[in-house]
Amino acid sequence: ILEKLVAKIYVADNGIDGVELYKAHQDEIDLVITDLLLPFLNGQEMIREVRKINKDIPIIITSSFLNELPQNCDVCGILKKPFSKTTLLEAVSSCLTLN
Q: Report the distance separating Cα 74 and Cα 61, nearest Å.
A: 10
Q: How far apart are CA 36 and CA 6, in angstroms?
A: 23
For 56-96, what is each residue's pLDDT tens digit? 999 999 988 766 556 667 788 889 999 999 999 999 989 88
Q: pTM here?
A: 0.88
Mean pLDDT of the chain: 88
Residue that wins the pLDDT comparison between 26 and 72: 26
